[in-house]
């Protein structure tokens, strides 16, 4: 079995980027043609209409970015809001991405104790074999704030199935400090979480530099991101906050090692709805939303290559040429 970090780094090297495209379908932001097509198919039921639109939009986005990036991150909440129709759509979207050769990090932020945590893990964490779990994800975001014992069931399932988890450590939202900055024994809570995650990272290494237990660390706190990278040298990072939330390549550069590995940088709204934002809104009509997604993704890839160690990534073909 190939562990998660080996598969992830192989995909990053193959695509020569650590750009991660989030999928956050929002009804009021979707392109009008997508909404119209869904309403034509399901005029009788609002939830079915929205689920169909979310699935169509997400699958078309996947088809655009699959040749360009190593992974996607669907936000489960937008699908779950629609009930059974939405969760069924999420399952199909994840399978579409897996079939396209992408790794999938399901952003569901699950966290619970004992058998309940195990059930969540078994539902979402398929790992290497997409048939191993209903939601078929390679990795899952996890909330640690019920305690260390809540993480172990997720770690166990990830190890068994070749999957990974990303633990919330320092999130990118403005209110993150309300709890994460509180001190215990003169140390902020988020650093205590980081210490536990680093221990799990070390324990789940299989010969490489990184384990299968990752950390969510926001781009909106670049100084703390750099400090946390030093504190968690064996932990792969998932970095939200790039783009629409204000983070740029300089803010995320410290997440990477010198080879350009060790992190994924996420952009969701800035790519999903690029056609609604400047400068793309000036050059792409609403009917050209797919072209805007491709252009925004390519710009992100270029930005990361120029402003972070991602520029040091070498594909296998280049490596053989250099050798």
Report pLDDT for 172.
76
pLDDT in tens, 221-250: 888 999 999 999 999 999 998 876 567 899
Q: pTM for the whole thing?
A: 0.94
The answer, yes or no, to whether residue 48 has pLDDT greater than 60, is yes
Angle at CA 46, nearest 5°, toward 80 and 58? 50
Of 73-82, 162-171, 232-241, 273-282, which range is least confident?
A: 273-282
Angle at CA 45, nearest 5°, toward 41 and 49? 50
The answer, yes or no, to whether residue 171 has pLDDT greater than 80, is yes
The answer, yes or no, to whether residue 277 has pLDDT greater than 50, is yes
Distance, CA of 211 to CA of 164 (rounded, Å): 9
Mean pLDDT of 155-171: 96
pLDDT in tens, 73-132: 999 999 999 999 999 999 999 999 999 999 999 999 999 998 999 999 999 999 999 999
pLDDT in tens, 185-210: 777 888 899 999 999 999 999 888 99
Mean pLDDT of 150-176: 92
Distance, CA of 243 to CA of 307 (rounded, Å): 14
Share of the chain above pLDDT 90, in %: 78
178 Cβ contact partners less than 8 Å away, ≥ 6 residues apart: none
* Angular region, 99: left φ>0, alpha ψ -120 to 50, beta rest: alpha
Report pLDDT for 321.
46
The answer, yes or no, to whether residue 318 has pLDDT greater than 60, is no
Q: From the candidates 73, 109, 122, 259, which is the catalytic residue?
A: 109
Mean of the per-residue pLDDT values of the chain: 92
What are the structure tokens assigned to 282, written together? 């000036």
The answer, yes or no, to whether residue 167 has pLDDT greater than 50, is yes
The answer to whether the CB of 137 falls within 8 A of the CB of 109 is: no
What are the structural domains of the chain? 4-322 (3.20.20.70)
Report pLDDT for 320.
44
pLDDT in tens, 285-303: 889 999 999 999 999 999 9
Distance, CA of 236 to CA of 216 (rounded, Å): 9
Active site residue 73: no
């Amino acid at each position: 079995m190939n562990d998660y970090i080996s598969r992830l780094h192989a995909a990053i090297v193959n695509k020569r980027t650590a750009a991660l495209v989030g999928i956050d379908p929002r009804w009021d932001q979707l392109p009008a043609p997508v909404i119209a097509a869904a309403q034509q198919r399901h005029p009788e039921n609002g939830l079915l209409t929205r689920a169909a639109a979310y699935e169509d939009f997400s699958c078309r986005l996947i088809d655009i970015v699959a040749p360009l990036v190593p992974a996607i991150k669907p936000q489960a909440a937008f699908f779950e809001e629609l009930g059974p129709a939405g969760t069924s759509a999420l399952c199909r979207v994840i399978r579409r991405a897996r079939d396209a050769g992408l790794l999938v990090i399901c952003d569901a932020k699950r966290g619970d104790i004992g058998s309940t945590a195990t059930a969540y893990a078994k539902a979402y964490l398929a790992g290497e074999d997409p048939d191993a779990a209903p939601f078929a994800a390679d990795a899952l975001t996890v909330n640690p704030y019920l305690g260390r014992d809540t993480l172990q069931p997720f770690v166990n399932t990830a190890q068994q199935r070749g999957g990974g988890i990303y633990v919330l450590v320092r999130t990118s939202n403005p209110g993150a400090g309300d709890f994460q900055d509180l001190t215990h024994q003169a140390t902020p809570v988020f650093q205590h979480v980081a210490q536990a995650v680093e221990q799990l990272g070390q324990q789940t290494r299989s010969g490489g530099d990184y384990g299968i237990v990752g950390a969510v660390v926001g781009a909106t706190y670049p100084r703390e991101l750099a400090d946390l990278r030093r504190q968690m040298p064996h932990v792969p990072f998932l970095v939200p906050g790039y783009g629409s939330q204000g983070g740029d390549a300089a803010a995320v550069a410290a997440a990477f090692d010198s080879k350009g590995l060790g992190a994924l940088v996420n952009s969701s709204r800035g790519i999903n709805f690029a056609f609604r934002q400047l400068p793309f809104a000036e050059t792409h009509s609403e009917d050209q939303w797919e072209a805007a997604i491709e252009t925004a993704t390519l710009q992100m890839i270029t930005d990361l290559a120029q402003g972070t160690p991602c520029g040091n990534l070498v594909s296998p073909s280049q490596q053989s040429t250099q050798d």
